[in-house]
Structure 1
């Protein structure tokens, strides 16, 4: 056991039961050894990606030149080239994380890749793409990201039912989160009926944190009263803490326990969007205030480095916080801000942002293919 005085904050966070996943990936990070270094020195045990991350990687990435040249030579379309490039990155990262996957018996060592956001409202297209990604990458430690839209719920059940591990993304509201858990359990029941090994199916539910604060703070500022000002920066943490309560309740009920007895895994909560947007707040706020056992915190590198450098990790900061969290959300509702209005808006905005990034990614690859011909 490392002596506490020499233990890093990221080690303390891991010891509190938080799995640290890096919210970033690029070919350069893989080839330079940066990912291996973060695993070794920053307690990173997983990776998440999304269209925005890949768009940034491709826009500044010389390391893709050779693959793009090969793809241009075979006349590959931009959409197919994006599929090849991103699945290559995820397969390479999965291989780097495989020792953790083996050591933790599938709990960690995971890499997530997102279905195209253009299909977010089409269950059939999302199911087909999830299966294509899973098959192409061909690594058991991959998770396919499916957004928690109404159509996404149907896709989650079908994809889990086919034995594929899923990272459910873009969750903002507690009601939608309950629906996500139900979709996961329905998928497990389908997999069980098909005779699949439930222990090999894993899932996380990605609850977005800072975006809720950004939008609610904007609405609080518009109200402009002292009471409104006093509530700024509190909604995101309160909402996520109540999500953890939903997780605890949902996986102790009879339906979930029956599946767990048959070998199934709990769907763990994952805190996404944990970079602090407001510079007046502590840059590790969404890390230290959301620590508890069996959660994942996926961090952009900047947040990861801040956490490693100076986070004051206090162990479990969620359990027992539920009554206070309810009060915060109740006070926000009482001054006229609709929780459902905010969460519906954020889901639509999140999909629009990912669609825009997806289009940027396609355009970047399209131009690169033309230049390589």
Structure 2
């Protein structure tokens, strides 16, 4: 019997796990999931669990500080997940089977207030440090001004990129153009692969808070419409580039935030193309749903809903608010992670 996740994959969607928990990676791989992503929240939660305390003890004994321990453990966790998905990468000749490694979110921390050029230089340095030499690792760089300004150089150096914290068409265009400039500086584009993580549910949380006058038909649709518009733009741009590998959208933040929404709302909406990075709970709920998923990626709400969103959404404001929130959502857990490691170091 075909499972719900299998129907989603058969419809044309690549399903990745938004976790690098070893047990979840193994179990989801067996369900057909073909890649994974990580971020500071995920790493922090895994370290809190205590299952990596022996690594902290080992690295502390070597005299390493909390920051170096955090990144060494992140590197090991991501590498372990890469090992699981490497057969997918090999089978698809580099088109799937990746695990994402997020660069230091404290580069964007408002409390540090690093100069723009220093941020750019550090993104390039860290991207090369953690990306070069890894067959199936993607380096996650945020679509901030400094992140975008680092993309061309990173791509030209052969780094496989996942541009994250994308909320608007403007960000996507700026990121894509920088990545493509970098790709054209390579000797060959045969191994060129890039993805662009468009966040979905956070956009609908934004519209609930900042656009309360949307009609019932339009409320809860902005995240889907915005991501589908970017998906179509992405597909149109790469059509005539004659590349060996797909340059794809990731539909990120696909776990529903509103209790009234079915847990598979976004999973169903984007079925048919691209990559869905689903939280473990969402994949579990999809499997338990008994549903069969078919292509919906190119289906839009009625025209009157599209017209209403066009007339009421201020994308400049949306991007500003969601970027501020997004930076905080990753910087704060990174600070907490370093404090956690310091406390575990002290107990060794």
TM-score (norm 2): 0.92
Structure 1 distance, partners of 2:125, 2:290, is: 42
Question: What are the within-5 Å matches in structure 2 for residues 12-161 of structure 1?
Answer: 12-26=7-21, 30=22, 33-40=23-30, 42-60=31-49, 62-120=50-108, 122-135=119-132, 138-161=133-156
CA change 1:291–1:107 in 2 (3 A) is: same
* 1:7 counterpart SS class: coil
Q: Does structure 1 conserve the Cα–Cα contact (< 8 Å) formed by 2:194 and 2:248? A: yes
Say if 1:291 and 1:315, in contact at 8 Å, map to a contact too.
yes
Q: Does residue 269 of structure 2 align to residue 278 of structure 1?
A: no
Q: Give distance in 1, aligned partners of 2:270 and 2:258.
A: 17
1:334 aligns with 2:329: no
Task: Tell me, yes or no, if structure 1 residue 306 matches structure 2 residue 285.
Answer: yes
Aligned residues: 339
Residue matched to 1:268: 248
The residue matched to 2:284 in structure 1 has which SS? Answer: helix
Aligned partners of 2:323, 2:200: CA distance in 1, in Å? 12
**Is the Cα–Cα contact under 8 Å of residues 161 and 190 in structure 1 kept in the other structure?**
yes
Cα deviations across residues 303-331 of structure 1 (Å, max 9, x unaligned)?
A: 0011112163442212253xx47753541
Instruction: Give the conservation status (yes or no) of the 8 Å contact 1:290–1:318.
Output: yes
Equivalents in 2 of 1:182, 1:49: separation in Å?
25
Is contact 1:288-1:311 (8 Å) kept?
A: no
**Large movers: runs of 4+ above 4 Å:** 324-327
Conserved 8 A contact 1:167-1:203? yes
Going from structure 1 to structure 2, the CA distance change for 1:242 and 1:311 (only over 3 Å counts) comes to farther
Deviation at 1:35, TM superposition (A): 2.0
Distance 1:343 1:131, change over 3 A: same
Cα distance in structure 2, aligned partners of 1:242 and 1:313: 24
Name the CA shift for 1:153/1:311 in 2 (closer, same or farther; >3 Å).
farther
Q: Which residue of 2 aligns with 1:292?
A: 272
Give deviations 1:105-155, integer Å, cap 9, x for gaps: 1111111010011224511111101111124xx421000000011221121
Unaligned 5+ segments in structure 2 are 109-115
- Mapped partners of 2:322, 2:45: distance in 1: 22
Task: State the distance in 1 between where 2:210 and 2:302 align.
Answer: 19
| Alignment partner, residue 167 of structure 1 | 162
1:10 corresponding residue in structure 2? 5
User: Cα deviations across residues 326-361 of structure 1 (Å, max 9, x unaligned)?
Assistant: 7535413534x4222112210121011111011111
| Cα distance, 1:228 vs structure 2 | 3.5
Distance 1:115 1:311 in 2: 37
